[in-house]
Amino acid sequence: MVSTQVSLAQKTRLNPFCLPSDTGCRFALLIVTVLGSSLFIYDALALHRFDPKAYLSCLALQPSMAEVAGNIGSPMEIRDPSILVAKSAAFSKCVMRAQRISAEWMLGGVAALAVVTLAIVWFLPAIKVRRGRLEPLSAEDAPEVVACLAELSDEAGLRKRPRFLWNPLNAARSGLAFGRPGHPCVALAGGLVTEFYTDPAAFRAVMRHELAHVRNADVSKTYFAVASWYAFLAVALAPFFVSMDRGFLATQIWRVPFLALLVYLSRSAVLRIRETYADVRASQWDAEGGLARVIAVLPQVKESVWWKLWRLHPTPAERCHSLDHTENLFETGFWETLAAGLATGIAFPNVQLLLQTLVMGSVQVGILAASVFAILIAGIVGTRIWRSTLAALVGAAPAPKTGRLGLALALGLVLGLKFSFSAAFAVQAPVPGRTLVTFLWDGLLVIALITGSALFVRWEMISASAWLGTTATARSPLMMYLFAQAVSAVFLAVIFGSLVVAWQVGQTYLSVGLPGFAPLLLAGLLVVLTQPAFTFLLVALWAFPLAAWFWRASPEATAPSWVFLDQPTIPVALPQQESLQPKLAFRVGLVSGVVFSLLHLLIRLAWHFSLHGSTASNNAKITMYYSQILLAALVQLGAAALTAARVRRLPLLHALLTACTGAIIMAGAFLILNVTFGGSVDVKFASDFLQSVVNAGALFSLLLVPPVVIIRRRLL
Amino acid sequence: MPTSEFDQLSAEIGRSIVSRAAPQELPLYRSISQAYLQAPGDIQGKAVSKDEMLGFGMAEAVTYLTPVILPVLTSVLKFLAEEVKTSVHDQHLVGDALRKLFGRAPAGSKPMEVVLTREQLVQVRKLAFEKARELNLKDQEASLLADSIIGSLAVPA
C-alpha cells in the first residue's frame, strides 16, 4: 500500500484527535454491551408472565411440514405459494401478539435503565460536591491560583470556563473533572492548591490534564459509563436474581458473571483510555514539561495484563510512553476488535428478539437488526481501522493486519452469540438425522462470517488509504471519514444482513426436515445471483475506494497540518503511493464487453438460423439464457485477470471495475440482440439479466482473480 | 472555655506555626482556617477517596500541614487549659493564659505567671505527635509539627 516508508514518528507526533478517539469507540461498546444484556434480562423476566396457551394456539395456524414439502417442486417448476404465505403470515401475527408482553418488558426495562442512568448522571455531581465538601474557589481564597486557572482555561480553548471548586481541608494532591453535561466543574484538593506555591509547573500540569478532559468532551462519557454500570446492577441484574426461578439460575448462572464482568471491564476501558487522551491533549499546552515529570514520579506498579484490565488509569510507564509515541493510539489490536465483535454478538440476538415482537417477517427483522449492528461495527471497528491506516500511510506504524482483525471480529461475533443470554433459550428440538446438516450449515456460515469480516476490514483499510490520500489539502478528514463510515455501514449491513437471513432460512429449512443440503446451497446461489443488494455490495466494493481517484492529490502534496500534534518546522512530504488506474480498468472492461457482444452475435445467428431458433422449448430457452450468463461471466473473468495483472495498486478492485463495466456492455448487447432477433424485453427481465451478469462476473472475479494477483506479486 | 474558642485560638496560633513550618501554605491559611472553623471534623488526611481514582491519578497526599496543625493545636490547647486551671484563679482568664503561653498575650491583659514544667512540655509534645499521626502525618512530619508547637510555647529560660 505504501511504497516509501518514511518514519515521520521520529520527526513529530501524530495527532490522535484528527479522527474520533478510541474513548468514543469504547464508550459505544459499553452501551451496546449494557443494552444487549439488559434486553435479555427483561425478556427473561417477561417469560414469567408469558401465556403458553396463547403460543400453543398459534402453533395450530402454522403450515405443516407436509404442506411445505408438497409445495417444493423441481427448480424448473413453479407452484403457487400464496396459501403457504397466508398461513405463515397468520402464524407470525399470532406469535407477535403472544410475544407482545416481551416487547413491553424489554422496552419498559430499557427505559427504566435509561432513566436511572440519567438520574445518576444528573445527581452525581451534586453528591460529589456534598461528599467532597467542595466549595467554590474564589479570588478571595487564592487570587493567584484563580488567575492561573483562568489563564489555563483560555489556553485550553474552552468555550465556557469550568466551575472551579476546592476542599481546603483535603490534603490530597489531586484534581478531578466532573459535572453535568454542558456544565463542567473541576475539583481541586487543598493539597494541589498548595502545590501552586511550591511547584507551580506540577500544579499547572495536573490542571492542564483535568482541563483536557473538558476539552476532549469525555467528562459526560465518563459519568455515563459509571452510571450505566450502577444502573445495570440496580435495574437489570438485581431484579433478575430476585425474580428468576432457581432451576433457570442453576443452569444459566455462569452467563451472569460473564456479562457483568464484560460490562465492568468495558467501563474500566473507557475510564482508562480517556486518561491517555487527556495526557496527550495536555502535553500540547505543556511547553514547560511539567506533565511528563509529574507522571514519571507517580507510584510505579508492575502488574499482569489481567490486572491492568481492572485499573482506571494506565500505568505511569504507559502514560509517559504515550506522551512521546502517540502512534500507539492509532493501533487496532486483535483483542479490541474481538471485544467489539463480542459486544455486538451479545447484543444482536436480543435486539433481534425485540424487533421480532414489533416487526413482522423474519427476513425484515434480520435485515433491520443487522443494519443496527452494521452501524455500530462500522462506527467502532471502522474508526479504528481508519486511524491505523492513517498512521500506516504516513509511515508511523505498520498497516493493520486484515486477516487477523477479520478473524477477531468474526470470532467475537460468534462467541458473543454463544455467550448471549438469548442462547440460553435457543433450544430447538432436533429433527433426527438432521444434526449433521445443520452443523454443516452453521459451519459454512461461520466461514462466510470470517470471510465477510475480513473483507469488511480489508475494504475499510483500502477505502481509508484511498480517501485519506485525497485530504492533503483539506482542513480536516472528518467529513470524508463520516461519509466513508456511512457507506461502510451500508456495506456491512448487506454482508451481515445476508448472512443472518441465510442462516435463519437455512436453519428453518434444515431443522424441519426439508430435503438436502446441496439443494439449499444451489437455491442460495441462485438467490444471491439475482439479489440487488448483492449487486450493490459488489459495486460499492470497488466504486467507493476507486472514486478517490477523482479527488487525487498532486504528487508534490505535503502532509496536511492536522496529521501532526506539533507542527513540523518544515513541510513533510507524504510517502508516495502508486496511483490508481481506473481508466485502464474501464478500457479493458469496454473491450471485454465488445468481445462478448461479438461472440453472442455469432451464437445468436447460429441459434436463429438453426432449428432451435423457431421451435425452441422453454427448457432450451432457459439453457440459452444461463449459458449466456456463464459466457459473460467467463469473458469478464478473463478481462478482470488481465487488469489485475497490469495494475499495481488495488488490483482486485480494478479487476472488479473491469468486470462491472464489461457486464453493463454485455447486458446491453444481449438485450438489444434479443429484441433484434424477435424477442421481448421488459424492465424486470432486463434488471434480472443485468444483476445476474454483474453478480456472476464479480463472483467469478472475486474467487479467481486473487491467485492471479498473488502470482503476479511473486513474479515481480 | 467553649470548644469554639479553642478552635478560634488554634487558628490564631496556627498562623505563626505555619509561617515557620510550612510558609508556602500561608497564602491559603485564611481560607483553610475558616473552613476548619466551620467544620472542624472534616479534616481529611492522606486517605484517598474513590472519587480521586477518577482524577489525575496522583493518589498520594502532599505534606500539607495547615489542616493538621489546627486540630492538633485544638487538642494541645484543651490539654493546656486543664493544666493552667490550677494556676489561674479566674477561669475567664484561661484564654489569656493560653495566649500568653504562646507569646501572644493580648495588650492590656493582667500580668500573670504561667509556666509549664518540663514534664508538661513532654506531655504536650507527645500529645501533638500522636494527634498528628492520627491525622496520617508521617513520623518525621508529625515530629516536626510537635517540635514547632513546643518551640512556639514560651519556655522559661
In whole angstroms, give the CA distance from residue A42 to residue A57. 24
A250 in contact with B, Cβ within 8 Å: no
As given in the structure block, the three cell numbers for residue A284 are 500540547
CB < 8 Å to B60, chain A: 172-173, 299
Enumerate the residues of chain B whose CB falls inside 8 A of the CB of residue A172.
Answer: 44, 46, 48-49, 52, 58-62
Confidence of residue A9 (pLDDT cuts 50, 70, 90): very low
Exposed e or buried b per residue across A436-466, where buried means at least 16 C-beta atoms within 10 angstroms of its C-beta: ebbeebeebbbebbbebbbbbbbbbbbbbbb
* Residue with the larger pLDDT of the pair A471 and A322: A322
| DSSP type of residue A236 | I
The partner residue sitting opposite A171, judged by closest CB among B36, B55, B61, is: B61
Of residues A536 and A68, which shows the higher confidence score?
A: A536
pLDDT tens, position by position, A250-305: 666 677 778 788 888 888 888 889 999 999 999 999 988 889 988 888 877 766 77
Range A681-695 average pLDDT: 89
Count other Cβ atoms within 10 Å, centred on residue B126: 11
CB A367 within 8 A of CB A501: yes
| Rounded Cα distance, B28 and B15, in Å | 10
B58:A194 CB<8 A: no
Instruction: Say what percent of chain A tops pLDDT 90.
Output: 29
User: Closest Cα of chain B to A29: distance in Å?
Assistant: 20
Mean pLDDT value across residues A223-240: 90
Helical segments of A132-254, H only: 143-155, 190-198, 200-215, 219-231, 238-243, 246-252
Task: Please give the share of chain A, as a percent, with pLDDT higher than 70.
Answer: 87
Q: Does A128 touch chain B (CB under 8 A)?
A: yes
Q: Are A64 and A87 a contacting pair, CB within 8 Å?
A: no
pLDDT at A421 exceeding the cut of 70: no
Query: How many Å apart are CA A253 and CA A247, to the nearest integer?
Result: 10
Q: Choose among A141, A173, A275: nearest Cβ to B62.
A: A173
- Would the CB atoms of B67 and A144 count as touching at under 8 Å? no
Q: Give the residue ranges of DSSP H helices in A286-382.
A: 290-296, 305-308, 316-324, 334-356, 362-377
- Residues in B touching A133 (Cβ below 8 Å): 39, 42
Q: Does A294 touch chain B (CB under 8 A)?
A: yes
Check CB contact under 8 Å for B48 and A173. no
A272 residue type, one letter: R
Distances (CA, A) of A117 to A10, A125, A182, A226, A239: 44, 13, 17, 9, 16
∠ CA B97-B99-B101 to the nearest 5 degrees?
A: 70
- pLDDT of B156: 46
Kindly list the residues from chain B whose CB atom is less than 8 angstroms away from the CB atom of residue A131: 49, 51
Who among A171, A294, A298 is closest to B67 (CB)?
A171
Contact indicator for A547, A580 with CB cutoff of 8 Å: no
Q: Where in chain B are the domains?
A: 3-154
- In this predicted model, what pLDDT tens digit does every residue of B77-105 receive, in sequence order? 888 888 877 777 666 777 778 888 887 76
Main-chain phi, psi angles of A579, to 5 degrees: -80, 155
Average pLDDT over residues A359-375: 79
Distances (CA, A) of A227 to A71, A108, A117, A337, B45: 54, 18, 5, 25, 28
Q: How many contacts does A have with B, using Cβ atoms within 8 A?
A: 119
pLDDT value of position A72: 59
> pLDDT tens digit string along A171-183?
788 889 999 998 9
Measured CA distances, B154 to A134, A158, A314, B101, B120 (Å)? 38, 54, 52, 5, 13
Mean pLDDT, chain B, whole residue set:
77
Tell whether the model's pLDDT for residue A4 goes beyond 50. no
Q: What is the mean pLDDT of chain A?
A: 83
Report which of residues A141 and A637 the model is more confident about: A637
Judging contacts by C-beta atoms under 8 Å, the chain A residues touching residue B45 are 171
DSSP state, A188?
A: E
A196/A143 Cα distance (integer angstroms): 11
pLDDT at A210 over 60: yes
pLDDT score of A142 more than 60: yes
- The residues, any chain, with a CB within 8 Å of residue A300's CB and separated by 6 or more, are A315, A316, A317
Sign of CA dihedral A393, A285, A314, A183: negative
Residue A526 reports pLDDT greater than 70: yes
Residues B32-39: what's their mean pLDDT?
Answer: 82
Are the CB atoms for A18 and A562 separated by under 8 Å? Answer: yes
A235 is written with which cell numbers? 435495574
Task: Find the CB nearest A169 among B36, B46, B54.
Answer: B36
**Mean pLDDT of the A59-80 span:** 63
| A324 touches B: beta carbon within 8 Å | no
Closest partner residue to A132 (CB to CB) among B51, B59, B64 is B51
Q: What is the ipTM of this complex?
A: 0.78
A658-680 pLDDT tens trace? 999 999 999 999 999 989 887 78
Band the pLDDT of A71: cuts 50, 70, 90: low
- Give the pLDDT confidence of A317-366 residue by residue, as tens digits: 888 999 988 988 898 889 889 988 988 888 888 788 788 777 777 667 87
Distance from CA of B48 to the nearest CA of A (A): 7
Cell of A494: 448487506
Please give the Cα distance from A709 to A646 (Å, whole number): 10
**Predicted confidence band at A166 (pLDDT cuts at 50, 70, 90)?**
very high
Chain A hits for B35, Cβ within 8 Å: 135, 167-169
pLDDT, mean of residues A485-496: 83
Are B124 and B149 in contact by the 8 Å Cβ rule? The answer is yes
Q: What is the dihedral of CA A691, A694, A695, A701, to 10 degrees?
A: 180
pLDDT at A5: 40
| Contact yes or no for B39 and A133 at CB 8 A | yes
**What gap in Å lies between CA B30 and CA A622, rounded to an integer?**
97
Which sign, positive or negative, has the C-alpha torsion A151, A153, A159, A162?
negative
Best of B7, B42, B58 to disrupt the A interface (most A CBs within 10 Å) is B58
Tell me whether residues B43 and A169 touch, CB distance under 8 A: yes
- For residue B41, give the chain A residue with the closest CA: A169
pLDDT grade for A248, boundaries at 50, 70 and 90: low
How would residue B45 be classed by pLDDT, with cut points 50, 70 and 90? low
Instruction: Collect all residues of chain B within an 8 Å Cβ-Cβ radius of residue A142.
Output: 27-28, 31
* Residue B46 clears pLDDT 50, i.e. is over it: no
User: At CB < 8 A and 24+ separation, what contacts does A541-545 make?
Assistant: A541/A459, A541/A491, A541/A653, A541/A656, A541/A698, A542/A653, A542/A654, A542/A656, A542/A657, A542/A660, A543/A657, A544/A463, A544/A484, A544/A487, A544/A491, A545/A459, A545/A462, A545/A463, A545/A465, A545/A466, A545/A467, A545/A650, A545/A653
3-class SS at A324? Answer: helix
pLDDT of residue A6: 42
Do A432 and A359 contact (CB within 8 A), yes or no? no
**Chain A CB contacts of B51 below 8 Å:** 128, 131-132, 176, 187
Stronger pLDDT, B58 or A43, i.e. the higher one: A43
* A167·B25 Cβ contact <8 A: no
Residues 486-545 of A with CB under 8 A from B: none
Does the pLDDT value for residue A189 go beyond 70? yes
- For residues A654 and A647, the answer to whether their CB atoms sit within 8 Å is yes
Chain B interface mutation, best of A130, A146, A169, highest count of B Cβ atoms under 10 Å: A169
**What's the pLDDT score for residue A598?**
96
Chain A: give the shortest CA distance to residue B146, in Å.
Answer: 19
- The overall longest dimension of chain A from CA atoms, in Å, is 106
Query: CA-to-CA distance for A432 and A615, rounded, in angstroms?
Result: 48
Residue A7: band (very low, low, confident or very high) from pLDDT cuts 50, 70, 90 = very low
Residue A307 has pLDDT above 90, yes or no: no
Q: Please list every residue in chain A whose beta carbon sits closer than 8 Å to the beta carbon of residue B61.
A: 171-173, 189, 191
